[in-house]
Amino acid sequence: MDRRFKTPIALLGLATLLSSPALAAPSPVGFSLRAKTSRFAFYSRGDARFNVERPETQLARVESLLGHKVSGTVEYYHYDRAEDIAAATGRYAGGLTFPDLGQIHTTGSADNHELVHLVAHQLGDPGPFFQEGLAVLLGDQGRWMGQPVDRVAKKVAKGTTLAAIIAGFDRIEPREGYAVAGSFVAYLVKQHGLDKVAHFFRACHGGRDTATAFTAILGQSLEAAGVSWARAL
């Protein structure tokens, strides 16, 4: 992520989640309501055309997988380029989610990832490492920047620990950090099942300590899980 900014930033092709509407509420100019479905209000500039059925399908899929339904209408702001998102929100990204506002601001290539954020954040918040890991797994099918996440994670895991990765997640190069997060969450799902991982997210609702919730729900410490994951890569 770009170190020049104190607020969360995502690079071109990346996506992120912003949980503080007071800090980050966008004021996009020139958007108009282009379509409305049972779950979404779609906004874009000009005569841009996009598929309104695919986000409906993805949202229903993620809700079913995680056992949680998003309430209210989702505001979907469609952009052609990351540069356009930067102009509207001040954040250079392929996609941004404002879960407390029920908004996603996204290019077409990032909306699957962003819709996972929208659902998962309402479950609970174990922190950006787990949020991004789940979004990479369910939204990007376990690949990041065109690479299988385990291939990237194997290189990163050799020189550090999971605790260090989680603690410094905002300072790690996103092309590596997001892949590592996706790899670890995929490992948890393989070992414990997605329902258990969703339960872990719920256990972090209301500010509960992530490490405590992890041990209580998944039956091992984060440290032990990190060692097992690294060995399995």
Q: Find which of 10-24, 90-104, 122-136, 204-218 is predicted with most confidence, using mean pLDDT.
A: 122-136
pLDDT digits (tens, 9 = 90+) for 25-43: 566 788 999 999 999 999 9
DSSP, collapsed to helix, strand or coil, labels residue 180 as: helix
What pLDDT is attached to residue 7? 29
In a domain, 6, yes or no: no
Of 123, 143, 178, the one marking the end of a domain is 123
d(CA 174, CA 178): 5
Most confident of 1-10, 12-21, 121-130: 121-130
Identify the domain boundary among 95, 123, 151.
123
**Confidence at residue 26, expressed as pLDDT on a 0 to 100 scale:** 63
Bridge partners of residue 95, in order along the sequence: 15, 106
Those residues with Cβ within 8 angstroms of residue 167's Cβ, 6 or more apart along the chain or in another chain: none
28 and 41 housed in the same domain: yes
Question: How many CA atoms within 13 Å lie on the side-chain side of 207?
Answer: 0
Looking at the fold, whether 141 and 218 belong to one and the same domain comes out as: yes
Q: Is 98 within 8 Å of 25 (Cβ atoms)? A: yes
Kindly report the CATH number assigned to the domain that includes residue 37.
3.30.2010.30
What SS3 class is residue 173? Answer: coil
C-alpha distances (whole Å) from 87 to each of 26, 27, 29, 84, 93 are 10, 10, 9, 5, 10
Residue 10 lies in a domain: no
Contact 120, 194 (CB under 8 A): no
Please say whether the dihedral angle defined by the alpha carbons of residues 54, 77, 198 and 155, taken in this order, is positive or negative.
positive
Residue range(s) defining the domain that contains residue 171: 128-232
Q: Please check whether residue 94 lies inside any domain of the structure.
A: yes
Instruction: Report if residue 8 sits inside a domain.
Output: no
- Asked if the structure places residue 9 within a domain, the reply is no
Domain stop point among 123, 158, 189: 123
Are residues 183 and 106 both part of a single domain?
no
Q: What percent of the chain has pLDDT over 70?
A: 88
My answer on whether 227 and 136 are in the same domain is yes
Vertex 211 angle, CA 200 and 232, to 5°: 80
Q: What is the tally of structural domains in the chain?
A: 2
Do residues 138 and 107 share a domain?
no
80 and 157 share a domain? Answer: no
Is residue 141 located within the same domain as residue 198?
Answer: yes
Q: Are residues 137 and 119 in the same domain?
A: no
Is residue 226 in a domain?
Answer: yes
Neighbours of 229 (CB within 10 A): 22
Residue 63 covered by a domain: yes
User: Within a domain: residue 5?
Assistant: no
Instruction: Examine the domain organization and report whether 99 and 133 are in the same domain.
Output: no
Task: Answer yes or no: do 140 and 157 share one domain.
Answer: yes
Q: Does residue 74 sit in the same domain as residue 172?
A: no
Same domain membership, residue 184 and residue 88: no
- What is the tens place of the pLDDT at every residue in 117-162? 999 999 999 999 999 999 999 999 988 988 899 999 999 998 899 9
Which of 170-174, 177-181, 211-215 has the least mean pLDDT? 170-174
